[in-house]
Structure 1
Amino acid sequence: MTGRVMVTVPYISTWSEETTERPHRVMDFLGRVAYHDERPSDRDEHGVLWNRITHQPGQGEPQLGKVHSLRQREVMTGLRCQVCAGPADRNQDGVLWLLHDDRGGPDHWPGWPNDMAAVHPPLCLPCARRSVRMCPHLTNTYVAVRVKHHPIVGVYGALYDPRNPHRPLTDAIVAYHHHEIRWTIASQLVRTLHGCHLTNLDDEMGPHRPG
């Protein structure tokens, strides 16, 4: 008899029964990309349009590489763990994030990861430990970072040509204060990371804490 491997599905993952809607897009009287049947819930408190996706967690098969936009926005706003949706870990050095280790790569800069734009929400310590053990994308390629300041600055999403709202130009991170935010359909919330301090998960967990 073969043992069954239990897979932890992150809270922000999309399930196969959850579908992204594709409403007809238009330009509204304010010069913004809009849905022809727009609802108040389609925009956030900054007036940014978000993509529509059904909410059926646990239905079907987990799509581990696909982020559910509204659950990502929920936990990123509340600084909650992207895996279990509980409070992200916080200590005197800041909130805990796991980042791809870009030190020495083409995207590295002095002081990295200070000033980095992040779309991945933070984590609690137990979920961080499980993630680096179970996720092949993190094996030997991650750093754990404590972040003291982490303001919400914008969104990641599809940027449209204001002359043609039917086909996106590109996917991009767009700041709330930038004029292109009017032509963006958001799929993830973005925070920037400041006051960063690299840390060690094993040292933080200690010998008596579960993980």
Structure 2
Amino acid sequence: MTTTAVRVPYVVAYEVETVALNLAVIHDVWALNGRRLSYADPAASDWVMGVLWARQKCDRRGKVNYKEMHTLRQRECMLHRLCQVCQAPAMDPGTGRLSWLFHEEVHAGAGQLSKPPTCLRCIPKARAACPHLQLDAHVYTSPDYEPWGVKGLVFSASGRPTLQDVPLTDLCTLEFTLARALIVHVSNLLPRQAPWPARPPYRNLHGGRVNLPGEPVARQSDDRTGAWGLRPDLEGRWRRPPLTTPLRSFEWNCRYSPHSVYPPTSEP
């Protein structure tokens, strides 16, 4: 038996790449307040775009941490317009637009994003590998973007660091921010036809269609088959099962849930 290996996205971090961060506050004559966040052993490469970035190793092996993006690889994909899955150029040469993959619909035509784009070739692979995208996935395209800010930990003398989105124009806050991801501003975001067939309707154990949260409840069954395999009578009305049919707790809960899996009936 052969198995197809799932490609790990280029931007995803590995557990072996995590390093201890020995942070310190140093005096800096170029800082607005005379001090700024730094490492105990600072290097010139620690600051990019005037911001201190989190250190990580570059060793793509071992256990994958899908919940975290690698700081350097994420910034590289953002600055060079690379695909977050295969590291290839993400812009479509035919349209001159970038593709973005979301697990829900986007209702704004512009905004800030911290995840890199995905090339059209890798969109089906990304959807097949991600459980969230398997449930629902939407593709949007946009023209070129521009850096807006960073997502990182903001340190203060009054309390613990907090994760914030800091714009590049907020110089005072950036001096005490440990950046973890680059944020870009995207405009003219338009939906694109997904390169896969429409999602089939979810069905319960008896074949009845399940309306997911957020979907309108259908007033008529789309396949003319009820939850128990019933069919409408000559007048088009759905009949309830006879009283001898056992009602399980699962069926009872589904029947009286807000998103009922049973076809509507005109009987009281």
TM-score, normalised by the number of residues in structure 2: 0.65
CA distance in 1, matches of 2:57, 2:20: 8
The answer as to whether partners of 1:18 and 1:53 remain within 8 angstroms in 2 is yes
Which residue identity lines up with residue 35 of structure 1 in the other structure? Y
**What are the within-5 Å matches in structure 2 for residues 59-208 of structure 1?**
59-90=61-92, 91-92=94-95, 94-103=97-106, 112-161=107-156, 163=157, 168-178=160-170, 179-202=172-195
Find the structure with the greater CA-based Rg.
Answer: 2
CA distance in 2, matches of 1:54, 1:129: 29
Q: In angstroms, what is the RMSD of aligned CA positions?
A: 1.9
Runs of 4+ aligned residues of structure 1 deviating over 4 Å after TM superposition are none
User: Per-residue deviation at 1:171?
Assistant: 0.5
CA distance in 2, matches of 1:117, 1:28: 32
Question: Tell me, which stretches of 5 or more residues in structure 2 are unaligned?
Answer: 197-268
Name the SS of the counterpart of 2:85 in structure 1: coil
The answer as to whether partners of 1:20 and 1:51 remain within 8 angstroms in 2 is no
Which residue identity lines up with residue 55 of structure 2 in the other structure? R
Name the SS of the counterpart of 1:201 in structure 2: coil
User: Per-residue deviation at 1:142?
Assistant: 2.6
- Between the two structures, name the one with larger relative contact order (CA 8 Å, sep ≥ 6): 1
| Higher normalized strand content (fraction of residues) | 1
The answer as to whether partners of 1:21 and 1:51 remain within 8 angstroms in 2 is no
Question: Tell me, which stretches of 5 or more residues in structure 1 are unaligned?
Answer: 104-111, 204-211
Which residue identity lines up with residue 186 of structure 2 in the other structure? L
Aligned to 1:34: 38
CA distance in 2, matches of 1:53, 1:67: 11
Count of residues in Structure 1 that have an aligned counterpart in Structure 2: 189
Name the SS of the counterpart of 1:139 in structure 2: helix
The answer as to whether partners of 2:81 and 2:91 remain within 8 angstroms in 1 is no
User: Per-residue deviation at 1:3?
Assistant: 4.0
TM-score, normalised by the number of residues in structure 1: 0.82
